[in-house]
């Protein structure tokens, strides 16, 4: 059984979908802990499912490195096989990425390498894109630049604003993320062998 730590910053709707999937009989992974970089609303989902959680508030540390060292320490307590960044709106310092690589994946609301960064949905709209998408990638030390594990296109509709478009992307993200976790757990997907088809 693959053990998974999930890191969030916000509402955690994708986290909740993963918790529900992992709760279903036969799913080959289990969530062992949920962590956040702030008092995120999404931590409630962990509580609902009886999963332990921790918070390492970014604002309380003098540097990204110090924050990362504390985060790394918390993660090590749980010894997860895989770390899922599910709306963690914070770049991990290289020390953390290097310690866990390639066992960290990230879900992103755009069709990478298009529109990386913190505002993937807003940037797609600003660019006038007629389609965007969702991607699940391996985390490396760049900004959303790691190998792509799964991605799917989502059309941009004429009346879309950031909220409506993001709400249409999220169900696609959830499906891709759950499938990636399942395939990592069964050994179908080898993170170490993932390469970037760009
Ligand atoms: C998701 O769309 C995720 O891809 C995005 O934040 C949202 C979190 O939603 N992450 C990024 O943009 C990272 N660059 P949720 O908290 O409701 O799951």
Q: Where are the strands (E) in the chain, listed by range?
A: 2-8, 29-36, 53-55, 82-85, 104-108, 131-138, 148-155
CB of residue 86 inside a 6 A radius of ligand 1 = yes
Residues 46-102 pLDDT 10s:
999 999 999 999 999 999 999 999 999 999 999 999 999 999 999 999 999 999 999
- Domain annotation covers residue 9: yes
- Domain annotation covers residue 70: yes
Residues 89-146 pLDDT 10s:
999 999 999 999 999 999 999 999 999 999 999 999 999 999 999 999 999 999 999 9
In the predicted model, is pLDDT for residue 43 greater than 50? Answer: yes
Catalytic residues: 108
Residue 66: partners with Cβ closer than 8 Å, 6 or more residues away: none
Distance 71 CA to ligand 1 centre (A): 19
| Number of compact structural domains in the chain | 1
| Ligand 1 mutation pick, 13, 14, 42, max ligand atoms within 8 A of CB | 14
- Domain annotation covers residue 194: no
Atom 10 of ligand 1: nearest residue by CA position? 87
CB of residue 87 inside a 6 A radius of ligand 1 = yes
Q: What is the pTM of this model?
A: 0.97
Characterise 153 by phi-psi region: left (phi > 0), alpha (psi -120 to 50), beta (else). Answer: beta
- Domain annotation covers residue 163: yes
35 in helix, strand or coil?
Answer: strand
Q: In the chain, what's the furthest Cα-to-Cα distance?
A: 48
Structure tokens at 47: 């509580």
Q: Which domain holds residue 58?
A: 2-189
Q: Which residue has the higher pLDDT, 193 or 38?
A: 38
- Domain annotation covers residue 135: yes
Ligand 1 atom closest to Cα of residue 10: 16
The CATH number of the domain holding residue 102 is 3.40.50.170
Asked if residue 107 lies in contact with residue 86, where contact means CB atoms within 8 angstroms, the answer is: yes
DSSP letters, 42-85, are: THHHHHHTT--EEE--GGGSSSHHHHHHHHHHHHHHH--SEEEE
CB of residue 11 inside a 6 A radius of ligand 1 = yes
In the predicted model, is pLDDT for residue 198 greater than 90? Answer: no
């Amino acid at each position: 059984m693959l053990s998974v730590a999930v890191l969030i910053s916000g509402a955690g709707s994708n986290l909740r979908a993963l918790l529900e999937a992992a709760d279903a009989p036969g799913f080959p992974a289990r969530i062992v802990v949920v962590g956040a970089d702030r008092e995120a609303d999404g931590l409630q989902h962990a509580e609902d499912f009886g999963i332990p959680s921790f918070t390492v508030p970014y604002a309380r540390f003098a540097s990204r490195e110090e924050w990362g060292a504390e985060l790394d320490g918390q993660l090590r307590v749980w010894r997860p096989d895989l770390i899922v960044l599910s709306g963690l709106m914070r770049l991990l310092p290289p020390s953390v990425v290097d310690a866990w690589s390639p066992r960290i994946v990230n879900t992103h609301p755009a069709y990478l390498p298009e529109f990386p960064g913190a505002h993937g949905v807003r940037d797609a709209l600003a660019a006038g894109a007629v389609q965007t998408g969702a991607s699940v990638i391996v985390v490396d030390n760049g900004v959303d630049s790691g190998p792509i594990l799964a991605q799917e296109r989502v059309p941009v509709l004429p009346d879309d604003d950031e909220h409506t478009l993001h709400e249409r992307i999220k169900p696609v993200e959830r499906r891709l993320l759950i499938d990636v976790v399942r395939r990592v757990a069964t050994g179908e997907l080898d993170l170490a062998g993932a390469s970037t088809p760009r």
